[in-house]
Amino acid sequence: MTTWVEPSGTATALLLLGRGADADSERGVDCPGELPAPSDPHLVERARAAKAALGDRVFVLGHHYQRDEVIQFADVSGDSFKLARDAAARPDAEFIVFCGVHFMAESADILTGADQRVILPDLAAGCSMADMAVLSQVDTCWDTLSALGIAERTVPVTYMNSSADIKGFVGQHGGVVCTSSNAKRALDWAYTQGDKVLFLPDEHLGRNTAVLEMGFSLDDCVLYDPHKPQGGLTDEQLRDAKIILWRGHCSVHGRFTLDSVREVRDRVPGVNVLVHPECRHEVVTAADYVGSTEYIIRTLDAAPAGSAWAIGTELNLVRRLARTYPDKQITFLDRTVCYCSTMNRIDLPHLVWALEELVAGRVVNQITVDERTATNARSALDQMLALP
């Protein structure tokens, strides 16, 4: 059995491409064992056979951004938190195979029973946004706030797209986890606990929620850069800010620009622009509709036939929506193709390998969060579940 134990969280080392690996990063780890060849024409049949052999012992989760060849084997599909909750709702499943990325599998391990094992088919399926907030950096930021005498008035809020140790930090300091659909509710709660928020790790979701949904001004928000002394901010800026945004972003949603919106409006008459709140502030303000992945799906489902839509989110999902709703004109917001590269590491060979290893009695790529981190992270997750 090979087991991945969540590291304690240190600064990420800079590695040359193809030379070495960093166990403290979500990326760059080795995948043990032999994978089936990608060109194997029998992969679909092998996946079906392995899944059938495991029966109710296995529960396969597929994130919306997964490729179709993987999604077809998912028992449920959804966004990261929905899938973690679905896993927790299946206590009889011995194995949870999470076709997503590392932080999602961590959340599933935190929310499932001690006798259940969570498996990530490829350990290199990380998240660049989650990697942008390292625990040692967040500790340094908190020390800065403490030295200024404002930490006790500051409530940490972390996006679901963060590592288990960041969720643990937030839980330890009385904070809450949020998703893209309940970020406003989480911030509303946070401001009943203090008068300042440290928002991790996605600056765009934090800024868009604070300004567009809560009536804050852009001046109420400051951007903390962990690579600069004191985050690149003065004492006065930190004291005066209502929300301290961590400098982090999604590598997919961050690619969309205001020019993307203008270009698609010129190219597609009457187009509706629908984007995820992880997009830049100027993109979100120029869009017609803004919402989470589930919101995007619901909006297109309810849209009238013949309507035109440009979607600013991950390409696998946009292509799947275009096939699902052929009566609507659905296009990618930007002309540049943009998959989530780490999400796409979960491919059919990795899934087949993981399932066949389980059939053979070998557990590979198990994701395990240490007990202390899991307890603190569970506190922050439970606080989210308790939001009104």
pLDDT tens digit sequence for 210-268: 999 999 999 999 999 999 999 999 999 999 999 999 999 998 999 999 999 999 999 99
Contacts of 300 (CB under 8 A, 6+ apart): 274, 309, 311, 321, 324, 325, 328, 330
| pLDDT(9) > 70 | no
Q: Please report the pLDDT score of residue 39 as a whole number.
A: 72
Three-state DSSP class for 260?
helix
Residue type for position 115: D
pLDDT-above-90 percentage for the chain: 80
Q: Please report the pLDDT score of residue 2 as a whole number.
A: 43
Average pLDDT over residues 26-35: 56
What's the CA gap between 249 and 320, in Å, rounded?
24
| pLDDT(159) > 80 | yes
Mean pLDDT estimate for the chain: 90
Strand 117-119 vs strand 95-99: parallel, antiparallel, or unpaired?
parallel
Structure tokens, 249? 């972003």
Contacts of 244 (CB under 8 A, 6+ apart): 145, 154, 196, 197, 198, 199, 222, 224, 231, 238
pLDDT band for position 7 (cuts 50, 70, 90) = very low
Tens digits of residue pLDDT in 38-85: 778 899 999 999 999 999 999 999 999 899 999 999 999 988 878 888
Tens digits of residue pLDDT in 309-344: 999 999 989 999 999 999 999 999 988 767 788 888
pLDDT band for position 158 (cuts 50, 70, 90) = very high
| pLDDT(116) > 70 | yes
Average pLDDT over residues 178-207: 96
| pLDDT(301) > 60 | yes
Q: Please report the pLDDT score of residue 33 as a whole number.
A: 64
Tens digits of residue pLDDT in 80-102: 878 888 988 999 999 999 999 99
Provide φ and ψ at 68, rounded to 5°. Answer: -60, -35
State pTM to two decimals: 0.87
Q: Please report the pLDDT score of residue 32 as a whole number.
A: 58
Q: Please report the pLDDT score of residue 82 as a whole number.
A: 86
Average pLDDT over residues 133-143: 97
| Spatial contact of 345 and 120, defined as CB atoms under 8 Å apart | no
Q: Please report the pLDDT score of residue 337 as a whole number.
A: 67
Average pLDDT over residues 355-367: 97
Q: Please report the pLDDT score of residue 216 as a whole number.
A: 98
| pLDDT(5) > 50 | no
Q: Please report the pLDDT score of residue 31 as a whole number.
A: 53
Q: Please report the pLDDT score of residue 13 as a whole number.
A: 43
